[in-house]
Structure 1
Amino acid sequence: MNPSAEPLVRFSGVQKTYDGEQLVVRSLDLDIQRGEFLSLLGPSGSGKTTTLMMLAGFESPTAGDILLDGKQITGTPPHKRNFGMVFQNYALFPHLTVGQNVAYPLTVRKVPKAEQAERVKKALDMVRLTGMADRLPTRLSGGQQQRVALARALVFNPQLVLMDEPLGALDKQLREHMQIELKELHRQLGVTFVYVTHDQGEALTMSDRVAVFNEGVIQQLADVETLYEAPSNRFVAGFVGDNTVLSGTLQGAGADTALQLPGGYLLPGVNVNQAALGSAVHACVRPERIVLHAHSEYPKTSAIPATVARAIYYGDHLRLMCDLGHGQEPATVKVALASSASNPHPQPGDAVLLEFPPVSTRIYAV
């Protein structure tokens, strides 16, 4: 993927309203690069699905332009856009066999029968459904039906594959397995994938880049590591991954800024949005970045006394909910510790010290 190259798709000033008053998508500018796996992530009603539907041609923008290879496609009907589409409900024809379902886009395009058979076999092999062409969709599991829908979307060599929460109906274990398969398939084919989801874990697992939507606006567009490690605003910090959120006022000067808790403790951190000194701010810290010390250790770095309120066992890690006091909500501090059978786990009521690394403490204006 070459960011400096001409994008495959460009949204320029795109807006969408259904009632003429409320904008579902607001002044959207977005470039989709060739060959990338881009996820549109956000809560319900954030505009991500509407953006995908406008790209697919099922919805028309109220304003702005959508360009494909530099050419306007705003008025091009869906069947002429050469895009594969996978929906959450798969949209398979129950009376057609798997092979006939996969062949449907080729039949519409009047591809010769012999070539259809060859392409269908190749597509089914690609999604590991070899030998299932004669089965009916109703005889398949949910994961297999999802693969049929994917094969149908890929069989005609589309420029883009668009997916609207295609794994939402699957159970957790199968969903996680399909995420890995989809990412591997994307790597093999090199086709551009645009994927809509409200599941942050799904987006982080599969994507090259993620566009986080809220209220019709992209809040941040970044690669997955940047999105997780350096959220650009308070919404992204809260929506992507888990966070401990502390409240206080901003103190310090220049690069040496810190959150001051009501009890007087200072937490140095990164002033992300250049909040003004003395203003009310929130500090967000990932639970796995907080370092826990026994109360008797007294580490060299500044640490804040806290009390363990609850300990929750997750298998691969232990989650502690701690009371910090100093004007914070009870049990508001989440600390993630690697599980270990050899070391005794902190218990509710234990006094501990919590160290908040400055590089991982991101401060946002309220």
Structure 2
Amino acid sequence: MTTQTPLVTFSGVQKTYDGEHLVVRDLHLDIEAGEFLSLLGPSGSGKTTTLMMLAGFETPTAGEIRLRGRDITHTPPHKRHFGMVFQNYALFPHMTVADNIAYPLTVRRVRRAEREAKVRRALDMVQMGRMAERYPAQLSGGQQQRVALARALVFDPQLVLMDEPLGALDKQLREHMQIELKALHRQLGITFVYVTRDQSEALTMSDRVAVFNEGVIQQIDRVDRLYEAPVNRFVASFVGDSTTLDARVVEVAGDDAIVALADGTRLRGRNVNGATVGDAVQCCIRPERIAVVAPDQPAPSGNLIEAVLDDTIYFGDHLRLRCRRPQGPEVIVKCPLSQSAPAAGAVVRLHLPAAYLRLYR
């Protein structure tokens, strides 16, 4: 990834379809050469519209898009020379795998010998070399996805755009393809821009993730920072699991704040949005950061709450405890399999480390 001039720059980009409601609002976004950037958000958040504007299938209502400093806001799609992979793959059913992959080269009038060499290379890239003469109907969903990816890569684009390309696959195959896509990205060094609604998919594959909501990027960051340090309530709730408690600020202490829960319990956490004394806040913490304090263990000096264990659920790689408090929402705790869980109905002490408890106005 480079720190020089961005490959793509969105400057003040807006998009409306009806002249009244902005689907994308004042978008400022830099995409670095060679990175894997995911656009993540719920339906209607503006992520797909952003991708379509970058591809050239939609035109911004305002603002501009630049490629290596050159304005491409009104450049038609076929002149941008970007690879594109759609969710439904958009393969030609009457063409063989090889002919589907060769299509972008054919329309660019690439000579036959060069075309055949590039198709062979693209087939090998996605491990489909022995299926060149098959037709799309003879392929599985995962194989069709690979053909669509090979077609997007065959003409050596500087940018590959993907619109939820794994959405139609089953869970196991989708997870396998996530790993393959990331490995292929590292191998090729091409810039990938990937649209998804799946948080785990974005975290697994991306260098950075831009979280969209209501046409605005709420946070764009490295995946580790996005998960560990959400900047607002929306990101904290949308990316990964969070246990959330309602509270009120009783003291501000530097970058931290002390809050009181409804039952009077006091907790210390990171004061993310600058809440002041008296403000109502949400206390958010990842379930795997909550520790169950065993009866024979000394209790930490602070950030301790009590709850009743309602249920223990086995998830294969961890245990999930569902805990109930007299006032407030359910508290979810993720524990390693090596840790034995108390019996249902037991009162458990839970430690919420201040370093991982984040407070949002």
Q: Note whether the superposition's TM-score is higher than 0.5.
A: yes
Partner AA of 1:300 in structure 2: P
Aligned twin of 1:363: 359
Letter in 1 for 2:270: V
Corresponding position of 1:338: 336
Query: Offset of 1:350 from its aligned partner?
Result: 1.1
Q: Does 1:278 align with 2:278?
A: yes
What amino acid sits opposite 1:211 in the alignment? Answer: A
Instruction: Work out the CA distance in 2 between the residues paired with 1:212 and 1:258.
Output: 29
Q: Is 1:92 aligned to residue 121 of structure 2? A: no
Tell me the secondary structure at the aligned position of residue 241 of structure 2.
Answer: coil
AA matched with 1:322: C
Matched AA of 2:189:
G
> What amino acid does structure 2 have at the position aligned with 1:148?
V
1:133-144 to structure 2, matched below 5 A, reads 133-144=132-143
Q: CA deviation at 1:121?
A: 0.3
The answer for the alignment partner of 2:235 in structure 1 is 236
User: How far apart in 2 are the matches of 1:209 and 1:277?
Assistant: 35
| Counterpart-to-counterpart distance in 1, 2:297 and 2:250 | 28
Aligned residue number for residue 319 of structure 1:
320
Q: How far 1:324 sits from its partner (Å)?
A: 2.2
Q: Which residue of 2 aligns with 1:44?
A: 43
3-state SS of paired residue (2:23): strand
Q: Deviations over 1:263-309 (max 9, x none)?
A: 11111000000012111000000000001012453413322111101
Return the alpha-carbon distance in structure 1 between the equivalents of residues 295 and 267 of structure 2. Answer: 18
Amino acid corresponding to residue 276 of structure 1 in structure 2? T
Counterpart in the other structure of 1:76:
75
2:160 aligned residue:
161
1:72: how far off? 0.5
CA RMSD of superposed structures (Å)? 1.0
State the AA in 2 paired with 1:318.
L
Structure 2 residue 261 is matched with structure 1 residue 266: no
CA–CA separation in structure 1 for the residues paired with 2:58 and 2:221: 26
The answer to whether the 8 A contact 1:295-1:305 is kept is no
Matched, 1:15 2:1: no
Cα deviation 1:213-248 (Å, max 9, x = unaligned) = 000000000000000000000000000000000001
Spell out, residue by residue over 1:87-112, the C-alpha distance to the aligned partner (whole angstroms, 9 max, x if none): 00000000000000000000000000
Q: Which residue number corresponds to residue 204 of structure 1?
A: 203
Determine if contact 2:39/2:193 at 8 Å carries over to the other structure: yes
- 1:107 partner letter: T
Provide the rounded CA distance (Å) in 1 between the counterparts of 2:247 and 2:102: 60
Match for 1:184: what amino acid?
A
Given the alignment of the two structures, is residue 352 of structure 1 paired with residue 351 of structure 2, yes or no? no
Which amino acid in the other structure matches residue 274 of structure 2? Q
Q: Distance in 1 between matches of 2:315 and 2:259?
A: 31
Give the C-alpha shift of residue 2 in structure 1: 2.5
Tell me the SS of whatever aligns to 2:202.
Answer: helix
What TM-score do the two structures reach when normalised by structure 1? 0.96
Structure 2 distance, partners of 1:57, 1:260, is 51
| Alpha-carbon separation, structure 2, partners of 1:253 and 1:242 | 27
> How many residue pairs end up in the alignment?
359
**Counterpart residue type for residue 336 of structure 1:** K
Report how far residue 138 of structure 1 moved: 0.7
Partner of 1:179: 178
Offset, 1:339: 1.2
Q: Match of 2:2, SS? A: coil
SS at match of 1:59: coil
Provide the C-alpha distance between the structure 2 equivalents of 1:347 and 1:143, rounded to a whole number of angstroms: 43
Q: Secondary structure at the match of 2:129?
A: coil
- 1:175-234 CA-partner distances (Å, limit 9, x unpaired): 000000000000000000000000000000000000000000000000000000000000
**Runs (5+) with no aligned partner, structure 1:** none
* 1:152 alignment partner, SS class: helix
Q: Alpha-carbon deviation of 1:345? A: 2.5
What amino acid is aligned across from residue 10 of structure 1 in structure 2? T
Whether the 8 Å contact between 1:301 and 1:355 is mirrored in structure 2 is no
Distance across 1 between alignment mates of 2:343 and 2:141:
42
Contact 1:295 1:351 in 2 (8 A): no
SS in 2 for 1:100: helix
SS class of match (1:131) = helix
Alignment-derived partner of residue 307 in structure 2: 306
1:311 CA drift (Å): 1.2
- The secondary structure found in structure 2 opposite 1:90 is coil
Distance 1:187 1:304 in 2: 45
Contact 2:227/2:239, CA 8 A, preserved across alignment: yes
Q: Counterparts of 2:343 and 2:192 in 1: how far apart (Å)?
A: 46
Contact 1:14–1:61, Cα closer than 8 Å, also in 2: yes
Contact 2:300 2:351 in 1 (8 A): no
The secondary structure found in structure 2 opposite 1:168 is coil
